[in-house]
Amino acid sequence: MMLTFVHYKGVRPRHAGVWQLQHCAADDVTSIPQPPHWLLLPLSSRKAPPLEFVIRRAGRQDVGAMAAMDGGGATWTADSIYPSPFVWLQAETVQPLATLLVAVPAAPAPTHPPTPVLGWVCAWDIAAEGQLDLMMLSVHAAARRRGVATALLRALADRHPRRRRAVLEVAAGNRGARAFYAAQGAVEVGRRRGYYADGRDALVLRLPLPPPGAPGTRERAGQA
């Protein structure tokens, strides 16, 4: 089985708050050019070079890094049947309804220790509802505001061309996440009191998904 990866570049223009995504397909990740030493630059720099990464289906080998990005369960729901994000993610890798994607560096990152996962997204496709249930979208602190979250959403949309929207929960006090989803066209449709394990409320959002196959969004992984 051959996997086909898509190489994404998050390009930051001179004016803040706007991003472009460029991509090129590669059947072998080793054919992708070595990325610059982007992780050595402060994220506040306006001259940050492009962030180069590939998006692929997540496997059990990724679960440890993915769970660590959750901050020890800071976004864990109060009624979860799983004891930790690690156990939940292990189950999601074999869940037939779930799509679990990760963004990883196109080449080993120049940090010690390296950052094996830049971001990940998990969604359930529930046909009866005609939409995706976006369970989690998380980006490593060193890769935020670099186009990773947007690319993950677009790759998710490519995986589910018949689904035009998703529903998700976001912590009411998470201004960064709320601003990101608002920029993607999300609207608030409800509120869940005490939804998270620490007692915080969650806002329920309805999010339109990007058109499948839009420029800079295509992601393929054969039958993986």
Task: Give the whole-angstrom CA distance, residue 96 versus residue 93.
Answer: 8
* Phi–psi pair at 205, nearest 5 degrees: -115, 145
Rounded Cα gap, residues 109 and 125, in angstroms: 33
Q: Is the predicted pLDDT of residue 212 greater than 80, yes or no? A: no
Dump pLDDT digits (tens) for 5-15: 333 344 333 33
Return the minimum-mean-pLDDT range out of 3-7, 45-49, 108-112, 128-132: 3-7
* pTM, 2 dp: 0.69
pLDDT confidence bin for 111, thresholds 50/70/90: low
Range among 20-29, 30-39, 190-199 with highest mean pLDDT value: 190-199
Q: What is the DSSP letter of 108?
A: -
Q: Does residue 101 register a pLDDT over 50?
A: yes
Tell me, rounded to whole angstroms, the distance of Cα 57 from its chain centroid. Answer: 11
Where residue 106 falls among pLDDT bands split at 50, 70, 90? confident
3-state secondary structure of 192: strand
The chain-wide mean pLDDT, for the chain, equals: 72
Position with higher pLDDT, 3 vs 107: 107
Give 223 or 96, the one with higher predicted confidence: 96
Cβ burial of 61 (10 Å; 0-12, 13-18, 19+) is: exposed
Long-range CB contacts (< 8 A, 24+ apart) of 65-68? 65/115, 65/116, 65/117, 66/102, 66/117, 66/120, 66/138
pLDDT in tens, 142-199: 888 899 999 999 999 999 999 999 999 999 999 999 999 999 999 999 999 998 888 9
Residues 70/76, Cβ–Cβ less than 8 Å: yes
Distance of CA 202 to the CA centre of its chain: 19
* CA 66/CA 68 separation, integer angstroms: 5
Which CATH superfamily groups domain 5-208? Gcn5-related N-acetyltransferase (GNAT) (3.40.630.30)
Higher-scoring residue by pLDDT: 70, 146: 146
What is residue 90's predicted lDDT score, i.e. its pLDDT?
A: 77
Q: Which two tokens stand for residue 8?
A: 């994404």
Q: Rounded to whole angstroms, what are the CA distances from 221 to 7, 21, 76, 213?
A: 12, 19, 29, 14
Place 133 in a pLDDT band, splitting at 50, 70 and 90: very high
Highest mean pLDDT, choosing among 25-29, 31-35, 125-129: 125-129
